[in-house]
Structure formats: C-alpha cells, structure tokens
Chain A
Amino acid sequence: MTMEKFIKHTGTGVPLRRSNVDTDQIIPAVYLKRVTRSGFEDGLFAAWRNDPEFVLNKPEFKSGTVLLAGADFGTGSSREHAVWALQNYGFKVVISSRFADIFRGNSLKGGLLTVILPQADVEAMWAAVEADPTTAITVDLETRTVSFGSISLPFAIDDYTRWRLMEGLDDIGLTLKQTDSIDAFEEKRASHKPATLPIRS
C-alpha cells in the first residue's frame, strides 16, 4: 500500500498521562472484526471513553492530532488496527519515551509518526498543553525536531525510515526491486526446509 508523505505536521496535543498503554486499551479485540483499514475510530480507547473525565472526552482536547503518551506505549498484541484506530480518529503523531517494538514498526510502516523523547520532555509537554490546550506543536521530520512555544527538542529516527516516510514510499515496491536477490537466495535454500504444500498427513 502506498502511504501519505510525512514531512511536517503542526497540531495541538492530547496529554495521555498513563504508562503501559497496551494495544488492548488502544483498541479492544471485539473491534478488530472489520476487513477494511478504515472505521476503527469508534474502538479507539473504547473502554476509557465511557469515562467523561477521560482526556479525549474533554472539549479542549477533542481536536488534538499529537498524542502525548506515557512510557511503553503500544505493548501487547501485533494488531495494526491500533495504528489505524489512531489514524482514523485523526492522530498524526504519537510522542512517548518508549514504544513497544511491534507497534512502532507498524506505525512507521503506516505513516503514523512515533517520536521518542525523554520522559522529562514528555512531562514538560503534558504541563504545557494542560496549561494551554491550544499550544501548537510542530513535528518536523526534515529537521528531526518537535517544537512548541519557544522550545525545540531534537529527536532521533534512522535515515532510512525518515527517507521512506518523507517520500511516502511503498515498502513492498522497494523490495520487489530486489527480486533477483530473492531468486538467488531461493536457489541455494536447503532442500530439507519444510513446505506447507503439498499437504502431508
């Protein structure tokens, strides 16, 4: 699938002051039954959204596009539906001090930028957006910085992923250019490796 290019995004933040937000919280399993990539916004944080005090239910945070999450965001299941739910709802960026590996991989494949900042910076951002929910946050992949107010914070992302996101490149298309290498690899694969077909019983 091709994805939208990500170069720079400016929006407001949503402070999610919780750590270890697992993918069952981001979208519970009962919402995973769709066969499309859209429509998952109704399942986003479904259990918590019943609580009127939950941050997404507060009018001042309803239109935020940058999720500011606690440590270990996206642990648990490999469901890419968690990324789609965040995107379908309108999020473009998630900032946390630590992401689970599979969630991070899924987000960067799908064009949802996950930015790792030190916990102290995340906490400073929580304080800033809670004091003024209209605080504009700019996430710039070109310069690898997150800025708000007078503060600019650098973040790290590997060159290859950054290039792919900025160009909106289809990963599969890139790999298919290496078909000759794949063919050559298969030529020398050991014959004892198992195959699922033909079926043996």
Chain B
Amino acid sequence: MMSKTLAEKIWAEHIVRQADGEPDLLYIDLHLIHEVTSPQAFDGLRQTGRTVRRPDLTIATEDHNVPTLDILKPIADPVSKLQVDTLRANCKEFGVRLHSLGDVDQGVVHVVGPQLGITQPGMTIVCGDSHTSTHGAFGAIAFGIGTSEVEHVLATQTLPSTRPKTMAINVEGSLKPGVTSKDIILAIIAKIGTGGGQGYIIEYRGSAIRALSMESRMTVCNMSIEAGARAGLIAPDETTFEYIKGKPHAPENWDEALAYWKTLFTDSDAKFDVEVDLNADDLEPFVTWGTNPGQGLPLNANVPNPADYADSSERTAAERALEYMGLTAGTPLKEIAIDTVFLGSCTNGRIEDLRSAAEVVKGKKIASTLRMLVVPGSARVRLQAEAEGLDKVFIDAGAEWRNAGCSMCLGMNPDQLAVGERSASTSNRNFEGRQGKGGRTHLVSPLVAAATALRGKLSSPADL
C-alpha cells in the first residue's frame, strides 16, 4: 500500500467511479441545507422530474436569513419570509428533515451538524456554504458548494470532483494565556494569504492543534476557506471521540465506528504537496485591520503603512482598505474605537466561545459608547448558556442576548452595521459591506471581543 495523507485516504474511500480525463465521482455522506442556496436546486429537481436520492443523508436548518428577535412571530421582511417558507415547503415535499425557527436544533448549519453527532470522522460532507470546512475538525472532508452542485447532490448523492492537492500546516508549541485558536487561524491566513490555500485541502497538525478542544478545532477549520483552501481537516483523536460520544446521532455500533476512526491519520511517510510551519509559542491575539481576512496583525501592532509593501497590488489593496476602513497608518490597533461587538457565527458561536467571553465580562459593564450583540450558534447552545447563567452575565453587562442564526456575520437579516459603523466581530469575513453596507469589520477572538466591549477600543483581556 502506498502511504497516504488523511485527506487522500478519505477521498479514496469515497470514489464511486474513476475514469481517465474525468473528475472523480465522489460519494457524499452528509448534505447540509439552508434557505439561501437551496431553492433554485429544488426547483431544478421539480423541472426535471428528479427526486432527492437520500433524504436520510440530508438535513436542513434555517439560519442565514432569520431574525434573532421575535422569532415566533411571522418574519417581517416579506422576501426573507418567502425564502424560509420555500425551504419549509421543499423539505416537506421531498421528505427532508428540517429544524425550523423555534426548534431546539435550529441554528447555524455548521453548529447543528456537530451538536447532533451527525458530523463524524472519515465522512464527506457538503453544504451550499463555504464554511462547511468547519466539519473538517472531526477528520472529515467537508467543503462548500454552489447551488448547481446542491442540486447534483440532492439528485445523485454524489459530486464529480477533482482531488485537491494536500497542504500540511504544522503548529507546534503551546499558546500563551489569552491566545486562542482564532488567533492561530488569523495568523495562518496573514502568513499564507487569502489565495495561499487555493487548490489544497489543508491538514492542521502539530502539538498546538492536538491540544485544542473540538470547538476550538472547528474555529480553525472553519476559516480554511479564508485562506482560499477547498477544505481543512484535523486527524481525529480521543478529544474527537469523547465529543461525539453520547450525542444523539453517535454510532450505535460504537466499537466498529471507533475501530474505523482510529485508521484515520496521515501515514508517517506520506508526503504533502506543501508544508507550512507556525510556532504557537510566539503567537499573540490577532486582529484584522483591512478588508480581507489576510490583512491581520498582532493586537500590539500599529495600522500598517501601505508604502511599506513591496508588491504593488498588495500596496494598492492596502491603500484601498485603509480608506474604506477609515484608518490612518501608524495608529496603534489598540487605539481604534469600536461601535459594535458581535459575538457569534459558525466561527465562534459555540458554548465554549460564550463561556470564555462571559468570563471576561462577568460583573462588569460594557463601554457606554458601544453595543454588544451575543448570538448563540444554535438554539441548543442558547439553552445551554441559559442553564449556565451566561445570558444573565451578558445582559447584566449591558449586552443584547439574541436567538440563534448567522445574524451579523453576513448582515442578511436585520442585524447589520450602519454606514461607517465599526465592529469587533468574532465572525470570519471583514469584506467591504459584509456586515452591512458601509460597515467596517475587525475580526477578533471571543476573548478580544469581550475585552473590547469593556474598554471600548480593540483590546485583549490583558489590557483590562
């Protein structure tokens, strides 16, 4: 047997058909669906008289578009309402399991899969959403697809795909207190760039990765797409198995599953196409200053000077980013005043994220100059947080406690920034207008978000 990387093993096990000069036909173990990228796919099935081949490998939730206030009232925006109603009608017609607003398992699609135990090692997982890479934290090949491909998977449970190359990112060492997995991934993207992972499946390796909790691993894999990668994954280990154990859809024949999962690692003599090293010991809390996730720096740094970039297109991009962000070169990042703090999203909307932020704000008040939105990743996360009293911690500090959804991460529902408004956000994209037209986004970890909420300017807990 040729030695293989983890990604190559999983890929090979899912090939339905292979032919010269054609993409591999890959079997898909799980298809996640939401309201925004599926209506046209279901329409396509109807127009061609096709059905959903495996409703039992398909699951839907309402997340991108839904309000986070008054969720049991009819959705106020008629266009949003039509989209959600369309998902409900499609799931009913084709027999697809759906978790609607008000249901305990409603929430951001990438929070829902893992919390149900449906995301497991060695799987192929797709969704019409680029942050599907989140599920790679379990040692699965998980990637985002477009609506045409959603239709393809619905009809055939397969996808013609060309195998990406493999990249290892080795993160050795240990993180200092106050430094999180969000800082690891922001540092990686700053290092390799938004196109650095293009055409690759990244495997995150090394002692710093193995030391992370499952939820922290999900944060790392989630943002693989921001480095341009097709997917990102982490070999499963005891941490993974413990997390799945006891979840509603954990395997009934546990021993058989576990025996298989334990074969899922990169062989010691396997070769990656590219390897990148990062030292965890040196990492500091990271924050973005620009309009793509690669434009990030340690929080102690200053806003960069575009003139310092040797590459002309990077220089132009930096100039444009500073203009859009309303920043002046040389300003300490810690002096940037923030208007809104957003804690949530598929990147950092899980219970551990809420716990770590709550720890920072507990018994304190957020700055009077800003608002803070706390949006749990799912209704179940919200209930768990309430059971632990975290809702009270946030509310007492002056934050808003919302219902689950994608919310301000992409500004599709009413949770948006106004023109010129500046956020510190635990989400994944700082693109122009991402959180609302004219809004300015700084990507941060939950710890930095919480400290920033208290101090009113970009901060880490150490600055308090």
Binding site for B on A (CB under 8 A): 1, 18-20, 22, 24-25, 28-30, 32-37, 47, 70-72, 75-81, 83, 98, 100-102, 105-106, 109-110, 158-160, 171-172, 174-176, 178-179, 181-182, 185-186, 189-197, 199-201
Number of A-B residue pairs, CB cutoff 8 Å, is 214
Contact of B55 among A34, A109, A185, A197 (CB under 8 A): A197
Give the contacting residue for A79; candidates B37, B65, B162, B228; CB below 8 A. Answer: B37
Q: Given A24-B434, A79-B37, A83-B146, are A200 and B412 neighbors across the interface (CB < 8 Å)?
A: no
Q: B432 and A75: CB pair below 8 A?
A: no
In this assembly, does B283 line the interface, its C-beta being within 8 Å of a C-beta of chain A?
no
A-B CB contact pairs (8 Å), 19 listed = A1-B48, A20-B194, A28-B433, A32-B412, A33-B65, A33-B77, A75-B195, A80-B128, A98-B195, A100-B195, A100-B228, A105-B149, A109-B149, A176-B156, A182-B27, A192-B257, A193-B123, A195-B56, A200-B249
**Min C-beta distance of A160 to chain B, whole Å:** 5
Chain B residue at smallest Cβ distance from A111: B148
Distance in Å from the Cβ of B179 to the closest Cβ of chain A? 26
Residue of A at shortest CB range from B120? A194
B158 located at the interface, meaning its Cβ lies under 8 Å from any Cβ of chain A in the complex = yes
A19/B317 contact (C-beta < 8 A), A171-B160, A172-B48, A196-B58 known? yes
- In this complex, what residue of A is CB-closest to B45? A172
Q: Is B230 an interface residue (CB 8 A)?
A: yes
B248 adjacent to A181 (CB under 8 Å): no
Q: How far is the CB of B163 from chain A (nearest CB, A)?
A: 12
Whether the Cβ atoms of B431 and A102 lie closer than 8 Å is no
Whether the Cβ atoms of A76 and B429 lie closer than 8 Å is yes
Complex: how many Å from CA A189 to CA B129? Answer: 26
Which residues of A have CB within 8 Å of B228?
72, 75, 100-101
In the complex, chain A residues whose CB is within 8 Å of the CB of B17: 178, 181
Q: B411 an interface residue at 8 Å Cβ cutoff? A: yes
Q: Name the residue on A nearest B197 (C-beta).
A: A101
Please give, as numbers and ranges, the residues of chain B lying within 8 Å of A192 by CB-CB distance: 251-253, 256-257, 260
Whole-angstrom distance between the Cβ of A142 and the nearest chain B Cβ: 18
Complex contacts, A193 vs chain B, CB 8 Å: 29, 120, 123
CB of B145 within 8 A of CB of A1, answer no
Known: A24-B432, A102-B146, A106-B146. A181 touches B25 (CB 8 A): yes
What distance in Å separates the Cβ of B200 from its nearest Cβ neighbour in chain A? Answer: 9
Q: Mark B172-188, 1 if CB is under 8 A from A, else 0.
A: 00000000000000000
Beyond the given A182-B157, A197-B97, please list 5 additional residue pairs across the A-B interface where CB-CB is below 8 A. A36-B40, A80-B147, A159-B21, A171-B152, A175-B152
